[in-house]
Amino acid sequence: MGLQEEVQKRKTFAIISHPDAGKTTMTEKLLLQGNLIRSAGTVKGKKSGKFATSDWMEIEKQRGISVTSSVMNFEYEGFKVNILDTPGHEDFSEDTYRTLTAVDSVVMIIDATKGIEAQTIKLFKVCKMRGIPIFTFINKLDREGREPLDLLDQIEEVLNIETYPMNWPVGMGKRFLGIIDRYNHQFVKFNGNEEETYIPLDEIEQYADIAENPTFQETVEEMELLNEAGDQFSIERVLEGEQTPVFFGSALAPFGVEVFFDTFVKLAPAPGPRRTKERVISPDYPDFSGFIFKIQANMNPQHRDRIAFLRVCSGRFERGMNVQLARTGKTIRLGQTQQFVASSRDTVEEAYPGDIIGIYDPGSYRIGDTLLDGKQTFEYDELPSFPPEMFQRVTAKNVMKAKQFRKGLEQLVQEGAIQLFKTYPTDSFIIGAVGQLQYEVFQHRMKNEYNVEVMLESVGERIPRWLKKEQVDTKLFDERNLLVKDREEEFLVLFKNDFALRWFIDKHPDVELIDLFEVN
CA gap 318, 72 in Å, rounded: 19
Q: Of 31 and 252, which has the nearer Cβ to ligand GDP?
A: 252
Q: How far is the CB of 25 from ligand GDP (least distance, A)?
A: 3
Residue 122 is a binding residue for ligand GDP (CB under 6 A): no
508 marked as part of a ligand binding site: no
CA gap 135, 107 in Å, rounded: 5
Angle, alpha carbons 121-242-73 (nearest 5°): 70
141 marked as part of a ligand binding site: yes
Residue 85 is a binding residue for ligand GDP (CB under 6 A): no
85 marked as part of a ligand binding site: yes
Q: Of 142 and 369, which has the nearer Cβ to ligand GDP?
A: 142
* Contact mark string toward ligand GDP, 3..32, x via CB under 6 A: --------------x-xxxxxxx-------
Strand bridging mode 243-248 / 134-139: parallel
* Contact mark string toward ligand GDP, 244..263, x via CB under 6 A: ------xxx-----------
Q: Of 3 and 40, which has the nearer Cβ to ligand GDP?
A: 40
Q: Is the separation of the CB atoms in 243 and 164 below 8 Å?
A: yes
Q: How far is the CB of 63 from ligand GDP (least distance, A)?
A: 14
CA gap 496, 252 in Å, rounded: 41
CA gap 100, 384 in Å, rounded: 11
Q: How far is the CB of 137 from ligand GDP (least distance, A)?
A: 10
Q: Of 136 and 392, which has the nearer Cβ to ligand GDP?
A: 136
Q: Of 92 and 288, which has the nearer Cβ to ligand GDP?
A: 92
Q: Is the separation of the CB atoms in 393 and 448 below 8 Å?
A: no
Q: Of 106 and 307, which has the nearer Cβ to ligand GDP?
A: 106
Q: How far is the CB of 239 from ligand GDP (least distance, A)?
A: 26
CA gap 415, 407 in Å, rounded: 12
Residue 110 is a binding residue for ligand GDP (CB under 6 A): no
- Burial pattern 435-452, b for ≥16 Cβ within 10 A else e, equals bebbbbbbbbbbebbbeb
Q: Of 139 and 339, which has the nearer Cβ to ligand GDP?
A: 139
Q: Is the separation of the CB atoms in 405 and 452 below 8 Å?
A: yes
Residues between 288 and 317 with contacts to ligand GDP, criterion CB under 6 A: none
Q: Is the separation of the CB atoms in 289 and 377 below 8 Å?
A: no
What are φ and ψ of residue 341, in 5° steps? -120, 120
Q: How far is the CB of 320 from ligand GDP (least distance, A)?
A: 37
* Contact mark string toward ligand GDP, 206..245, x via CB under 6 A: ----------------------------------------
Residues between 136 and 155 with contacts to ligand GDP, criterion CB under 6 A: 139-140, 142-143
Residue type, 398: N
Angle, alpha carbons 223-224-229 (nearest 5°): 95
Q: How far is the CB of 250 from ligand GDP (least distance, A)?
A: 3
Residue 443 is a binding residue for ligand GDP (CB under 6 A): no
Q: Of 120 and 337, which has the nearer Cβ to ligand GDP?
A: 120
CA gap 130, 384 in Å, rounded: 10
Residue 338 is a binding residue for ligand GDP (CB under 6 A): no
89 marked as part of a ligand binding site: yes
CA gap 314, 3 in Å, rounded: 9
Q: Of 103 and 109, which has the nearer Cβ to ligand GDP?
A: 109
20 marked as part of a ligand binding site: yes
Q: How far is the CB of 27 from ligand GDP (least distance, A)?
A: 7
CA gap 384, 364 in Å, rounded: 21
- Burial pattern 398-432, b for ≥16 Cβ within 10 A else e, equals eeebeebbeebbebbbebbbbbbbebbeeeebbbb
Interface residue list for ligand GDP (CB under 6 A): 17, 19-25, 139-140, 142-143, 250-252
Binding-site annotation: residue ranges for GTP: 17-24, 85-89, 139-142
Binding-site annotation: residue ranges: 17-24, 85-89, 139-142
